[in-house]
Chain A
């Protein structure tokens, strides 16, 4: 069997590891448009901060491809997928070629979304912040006296700000939204984190964005003027679905997949940021653009490709672990139903969302210890009436469970 994987990040690695659990013989080819060994994308901000390096940010050891008997075509773009003939067309520099597949995984990730902004082309030093090359560009172009202007106060923009703060102290971040981190935090949690950022010298312009650029000067919608040396575009990301769409795959915001990561095209799977998953905390299909999801969905595809048809990916939820200057945020699920908030506005924040007698979401800022016990309550959709605690007010622990449930959890071996 010939398996082709387009992409070389978490979903691709998950797929390879899934395949090799059951099939040591299949021929696996990875095609990646980057020239690098698989690396962890979320680590690019840690690279800027000097908290990791090119060696340590490798997502798997140097021997990964040889250990798993995988061929890799680096710096190669896939130009088209022909689902009828089961062929992938590629281009490397000026050479074109094609390769047939029996099974195909599309793991093309996401691409930065850059809204049209007047005069953007006049900005000499600008980058998005998604890839190792973006981080290398910033390492080369940012020094102690560089003024950095970041458009977008989401996860990507703010991790970029934190990473760069180890290099320069002159960082301004703007966002059209009136709060930071709108994708994972409610307004109150966001104001708490805003204080953390401002205490660490990040200048925030919220509810405002760049209207036009003239060289190194941005004029904001509010009329404010921001002078900068380097511009980072971190407005958002979109699923990279072009190849799939052109090949005839059904696409909403991401590629539509079933619980085994299959697309509507025969023998074509999709996983990771380019694909949708079924979010059981909100009962909706959506793109869950986060690394653990990419790995899990890729692994599901790999297992299915290798003939293991009883391992669906059926407990996906949005979740995020992120920290800024030592203040950590863990969040999971959806913030719907009865929402309880407990906070001192400074050091800790606990949001708990309960719907139909089940935990559907939480945010924990500050003390994040053992929060995974609550993540599991969301994933397993455990009725809270079975627990002898109030999850909104009690620190996570296994004492919450009945003795019988606890003995089952701790006395056996989790398969």
Chain B
């Protein structure tokens, strides 16, 4: 078996982000590392985040830095990754790619202890870059220009110090003196030798300055001084003319200003009043804002509070350091302040947000200062504050993030055409249940009822130069309704259109006149109101129309085609007639090419399952140029120009090719390339869209022609970053559509369905899924379906207060704040809070839950009806219990029907070692038609029941290393059978027939069997590789799929002969007594597939995302990405794709310097998986490279693109 791995949704979490002028010019961009994806984003003028470029780099990006050579207008991007190389990238605006300027190897690949890549620091003047490892190694590269003004990089200079752990590095701004880098270091060499612990307790962190002597080309330790032992991060302080230079050392509870030859200036970080005393306050992210006259820092703590840090300085002397409370945002991994007044907060977990500055914290607020720092016997006096509503920032946009995906199931719960993906995302107060559907999100602008059931709709402009449409014309069975578009949309009767007849087509003709085609004629309405009518001869009626701005072709009943053209005076003149052999099913004329008089091609579809291309040139007018036979009668035709490859921001570089699209009566969309000169058809592809024949309409998406296909659901075909994508829209079935442009809505679609007129816009192009989110209370752990309509979710959080306690605390706070007499600021807070959000002045999503002691747990069981997104029952567990596993179970005695089993632990602690007060298995009964739960009983067990599963009318539970079978009793569960021979902790149980597949937390899968006659559980096979399981799924009788903590997916299979032997057991029970060697099982499973995803996989499922498609394995990861693995069905495809992958590996090595093969084999060699993510980079290659690879594969580039498109369409 071979699998094709394809990422369906790229990682949505952010590792780090950095802002800079990467494209040059005034605009600022943000480079975002999302694990193995490097992205460039930019907020547009209205504050919407636009993704400019997204590249899969096949390596782990750990750090980013931007630098600029002096005098240059453009920033370069330095990437620290797991490749053992330093990579410098430049954004190429014209081609919309990252150009790799330099790639210097310095060590082994992989995230290792002493191989640099973890930290990056640049000299503020862009003269040098330091790349550091967690321990020992630091390398400095000198950056310069050569005579042709190209960037040069030196060989590395070492700044190593062995036995030293590095916490953070940064550049020190010292103007144009020799570049200096600062580092927080801790020497452990002596602590390792001292058994008394004396040295270890005295171990001291140091702040060390490394100076790069540009003259001697040498790095030396210039200065080293002890620093607070809680130090964790460094921030550069502007120097030279702008500031005092030096660094800010962020430490637990303190921020300290340090510089060589300058006394420390220290201030405490204010604490939240409700923070337990045992907890410190740690800064986790920082941003610097610099203006000509001033600068300040924004530091965010681990609880999400942002502080503005300012320095009072004169002449290089810092006299005071002030830390003022600024605002509270969800905890970020990176903060980026843009010059345009935006703040990008890249959240650690959950959605990212873009904020706009409303103020820069000039107003009075809680402030800690070095001047008022008080030292008492117990240490420094803390400063307290209470978070309040946003004052200085305003959220204007957000980027969805699924990180972390905790659990996922694919199921067609809503009985739609495609299954939905249900997933649990997020953490703590920001967690949610998200329902993903393949397709683009739309936003509905208006829905209005019409007096009848309309059959068609068009929009027309009055003049070719108009920006917006003037009329919406709706046709009914016996009338036409004209609506004028203005401030409001209202019916008009002075438009000149004939309203007593249905219409067949309405369009702008020539420069400024309108045309209405109705069954018995054509009405041509000139700009001055004159009307020309053309009537059909005899009793024949017009059945089909095709038109563009200058040409009209009508088909009369019986199959006669009449061709009209607009002449120079604006008159519609009949040019040619042509008799077809039978009735015409559909017509289309290609749009008039820029600067031409007419389009050359007319496509005619007939009921004899053929499509003909006819010429419209005067020389060979109405000659058949080519004929294509199709599998079913075509019902709709559309010509669409497609720029097939990448280049420019949307792929404008390459010559367009003209596609003829045909919607067939069988529901298939048929696409074929039309030769621009000869009209020959070639390279056809077809795709099933739905149960109805697709109707095709041309719409405008981001200023380019796109295609709307209306089948049993709507689809949009458009170009995104060089790929032509055909994606379903998440909207109901539509009858007829037209593009729509007005003052309020620049690029919309107007459509009819039923008796309603709908106006909508299409959002977030390029995404595969759209999501609906239902908020949850605590970190969700697992969920199950009940009766295919109800979800039961378990949520639990460590170190948090229960809902009642939080409610009480909040009330108390608001009461005290209200009564506080000198509390000017607190009164303010109330007002502010009330103004902004009346219901919840301090929403937990924004501020997080208050921290409790770490041994405190809160947890709840939720019954959710996904259709109405309503929680029908929510049980908060009491007494410090937390739920960890859930399953539905039907016990053999059918007294209660389906029951719910929930495994919980009471008082669970991980440190200093794992222990707990007790574990329980709760049994609940569904009441009120499954909407609510009622506790039947709970059974105490000796460990945490991390896995539960139904098995032959009983309940299997994995409790630590014990697998136990329970039956239902009146007061508790009854032990029936157990096996204690599992190595560590059971985390998953799957069953099939009498086999039980048990996943151990660090020892992969164990295959067990239950002997009913002897009431025994025994392990007959296990894996020989230690695997730290995080996800598992049952594939077939002999096969299991698993995901491990290190980011691998693997399949194991029991060899066929062993499987047969186990099932038949010819030895008469001997197999059961068979012993393996070294405590293992007698048989071993074989690994049949192995792949490194590069991201911890948390959920796996076998499912099909398209109707009638084959199954693939869908996986979700911690970083919020979704991928699929599709089994190949033919050997030819395997050959083709493995060769394509091989060529791409050679010709197109990954951007950040990690070898592709080595990355996919990071922990175990990749086996039988072809990486579709790499193959899909083929269209981004330059044309000559594409041709070269295609030649080697004996194909054309277009064929390769078609193959890639085909296989993608098999998955989603």
* Bound together: no
B→A interface (CB under 8 Å): none
